[in-house]
Structure 1
Amino acid sequence: MVPEIADFWGRLPLELIERILDLLIDDYDLDPAYQWTTLRHTARRQKRRIERFFWHYWLPKLTITLYSGPRCQIDYRLSNRTDDDNPESSQVRFRTLGPGLSNSLNKEDIRSLWDQYTFENRVAHLRLGEGLLNHGMTGGYIVNDTDIVDLQVEDDGFGIVFDWRRTFDALLREEVMMRKFQLEMTTERKMALASEHRWPPFPRIQRLALVKQFVLDVQMAKRVAVQKHRLKRHDPSGQTQIGSITQESRHLHNQPLPLLPPPTEPRRACCAICSRRTGPSIFEVVACEESVVLSLEDWQQLSKEELLDLYAEAYGWNCYRCLGQKDNVEWQQISKNDWLTVCSSTDEKLHSVRRWNPWF
């Protein structure tokens, strides 16, 4: 800290310093990643204050989703805190109410799914702030396959207990890491386009160009970088596999994959969607659920008309990539126009919660 600033702070009454910190923290109530990973470490009193806020506000807005194959998604939400009157308690209990359960699933099936949950096989993902973060914009919440720390499975899988602080730490630290990677990657791509005289001169066209870069590269590249960082911490030897790097999402993350052993069960004589037995990787979920438009700087200042156009642009590039139309740029514009003519209002398109499905 600069000596003059340190001297200034040193002459302020403690109560005033705490009040200033309170106001600063309040300004970031809707940025849980920054509030948890950075502001929580400003002072002991602020750490307690932020953890109490997360305990009461963000914890009920966390959803853990367990996947069974390509269709079934089982949501778990806060049931109770193991010590409801004590914010210092680390253990919380989540339960599923059952509406998302398939008729073909029973308790043994659900317990078996949780038994498969490992570093290499993240059959459950975390979502924070669905329909709330980023002013409730479509695809504006946090979703990741970070570790559910100290997981214990209860009632044959209908309930789970875990360490909420360390789980939030894993989720939000990786969120901040992805922001850092994204900024670095975006800067590199802007410089590369400028050096090739392909960086547009007008801000609106620049935003369209960035949306293309985000969809076709940055969105997944930053996830790959985080997954590799996670693997290095978990197993420096590199012998462990990254579970989310899968054959089904190969077209998204573009990573080399080990050869697969022959299938133990024959595939159904149907489409690839019906034949697959695995749930989605985080890359597949992100491609469907996360909006790259909200990665644009100062997107909040844009008009509804431009936001709608940018969402449509992102949708078109997603189709271009996912449907193997890499040499057909016209396909992107066709898909974009199709999305714009879908029979739903602008508000429905810009403010909705969508979940992964294999037909996306």
Structure 2
Amino acid sequence: MVPVVVVAGFWGKLPLELIERILDLLIDDYDQDPAYQWTTLRHMARRQMRRIERHFYRQWVPKLTITLYSGSRCQMDYTVADRDREGVNFESGRVRFQTSAASPSDSLNKDHIRTLWDQYSFENRVAHLRLGEGVLCRGMTGGYIVNDTDIVDLKVESEGLGITFDWRRTFDALLREEIMMRKLQAEMTLDRRAQLAAERRWPTSPRIQRLALVKHFVLDVQMAKRVAVQQHRRRRYDPSGQAKIGSLTHESQHLHKQPLPTLSPAPEPRRRCCVICSRRTSPSIFEVVSCEESVVLSLEGWEQLGKDELLDLYAEAYGWNCYRCLGQENNMDWQQISKNDWLTVYDSGAEKLHNTRRWNPWF
């Protein structure tokens, strides 16, 4: 949807009630784009700011999930507490989230949970945020917002089973970075199209163009835009540049492609098992995004595409992701093999296009 721009002088000729009604309708038109609502429409008028913030408190705070990670296998979700659903804390700007688990698992006891939260910092983002999981982009697979943005003014309660934070500032951080990544992707895409056009390699068929863009998004854009945002985040946090970007890990180096210092010799594994079981580090945002985020939904006009083409585009992205993640960069056939596997081996078409999946090192 294209943002609406209205000449400032036009507003002065309209009654206040009509202006407010127009703004209300504009806001409603972007109900499936909370990032644009929050970062742009919220600042159009004081009344609209209040209205949007109340809407976010009722609509989007309950659709925010914060996931705490421990190693490669344990993850624990926190969602808004029942007492906060009634809106009693709207004015305070703070919300309380709690884990839905009746009790921690044996591998993740209360002391361990508390320690994980105590270690949460700019350089150690052991918790990620997901907004609109199964809701945004018509519930399409990988259509929600996921990031390791700061949980602002975080306070830990109940030995780590509950947390409180400033929801307005947290949403501001999450959605501003989302808009920044959209702008970076648009710039990279324009540059790529111009390059291919200059080389007379830009396809004439719209369908082939979309396949070419999916490849470009997976191999050149998806991770690069997140690296740029992480570096921007560090410049704001520490202008000296000395702070470590915790998401740039050796485990995800094949994704982010950033140079890292040589690792010291690894300690003896805790058990004689596979590398996944022995892994001690939590997933970085790059690993999570590689598994969970669909680049297909970055294509302009994807909503108008038929089911068969959407499935083909999802499969195309899956193939290029395997090509990259499994170190098959010199094996062009691997992408096609992986694509065909995705189309023929896994779930039905409806399940593939409307599926909620989480990062899992086993798959």
TM-score interval w.r.t. the shorter chain? over 0.9
Q: Secondary structure at the match of 1:104?
A: coil
Residues 1:237 and 2:240 are matched in the alignment: yes
Compute the displacement of 1:29 (Å). Answer: 1.1
Counterparts of 2:28 and 2:229, CA distance in 1:
29
Q: What amino acid sits opposite 2:239 in the alignment?
A: P
Q: Is the 8 A contact 1:82 1:93 kept in 2?
A: no
Shift of 1:260: 2.6
Q: Distance in 1 between matches of 2:318 and 2:137?
A: 19
Partner residue, 2:145: 142
Query: Could you tell me how far 1:266 is from its partner in structure 2?
Result: 4.0
Confirm whether residue 304 of structure 1 aligns to residue 310 of structure 2.
no
State the match for 2:109 in structure 1: 106
- Establish whether residue 123 from structure 1 lines up as the match of residue 133 from structure 2: no
Change in CA separation of 1:10 and 1:348 when aligned onto 2, cut-off 3 Å = same
TM-score computed with the length of structure 2 as normaliser: 0.95
Distance 2:201 2:41 in 1: 39
Within a 5 Å distance, the mapping from 1:312-351 to structure 2 comes to 312-351=315-354
| AA in 1 matched with 2:128 | H
1:46 aligns with 2:48: yes
Aligned partners of 1:236, 1:74: CA distance in 2, in Å? 33
- Relative distance call for 1:50 and 1:325 in structure 2 (3 A) is same
Q: State the Cα deviation string for residues 20-61 of structure 1 (Å, max 9, x = none).
A: 111101111110000000000000000000000001110000
**Aligned residue identity for 2:294:** S
Contact 1:82 1:92 (C-alpha < 8 Å) held by counterparts: no
**2:291 aligned partner:** 288
Separation in 2, partners of 1:203, 1:82: 45
> Secondary structure at 2:60's aligned position in 1?
helix
Partner of 2:209: 206
Aligned match of 2:36 in 34, 37, 44? Answer: 34
Q: Which ranges in structure 2 are unaligned for 5 or more consecutive residues? A: 1-5
What SS does the aligned partner of 1:64 have?
strand
The whole-number CA distance in structure 2 between the counterparts of 1:115 and 1:262 is 26
Q: Residues 45-102 of structure 1, C-alpha deviation per residue, up to 9 Å, x if partnerless?
A: 0000000000111000000000011011100000033993352221100000216943
Partner Cα distance (2:8, 2:329) in 1 = 56
SS state at 1:277 partner: coil
C-alpha deviation, 1:343, in angstroms: 4.3
CA distance in structure 1 between the partners assigned to 2:55 and 2:315 by the alignment: 36
Moved more, 8-17 or 308-317: 8-17
| Aligned equivalent of 1:56 | 58
Q: Which residue of 2 aligns with 1:12?
A: 14
CA contact (8 A) 1:73 1:101 kept: no
For 2:318 and 2:281, locate their aligned partners in 1 and report how far apart those are by CA, in whole Å: 25
Q: Distance in 1 between matches of 2:221 and 2:210?
A: 14
Cα distance in 1, alignment partners of residues 10 and 308 from structure 2: 47
Which stretch shifts more, 273-282 or 192-201? 192-201
Amino acid at match of 1:214: F
Deviation sequence 1:118-154 (CA, Å, 0-9, x none): 1001000000000000000000000000000000000
Give the superposition deviation at 1:5: 4.1
How big is the shift at 1:265?
4.5
Aligned residues: 357
Matched to 1:12, the amino acid is: L
CA distance in 2, matches of 1:207, 1:122: 34
Letter in 1 for 2:251: E
Give distance in 2, aligned partners of 1:253 and 1:7: 46
Provide, for residues 259-310 of structure 1, a one-character-per-residue CA deviation record: whole Å limited to 9, x for no partner: 2333344465443222211110000000000000001110111110000000
Asked if 1:226 is matched to 2:229, the reply is yes
> What residue identity is the alignment partner of 2:18?
L
Aligned to 1:29, what secondary structure does the other structure show? Answer: coil
Alpha-carbon shift at residue 191 of structure 1 (Å)? 1.3
Structure 1: 5+ residue runs without aligned partners?
Answer: none
| More displaced 10-residue stretch of structure 1: 235-244 or 336-345 | 336-345
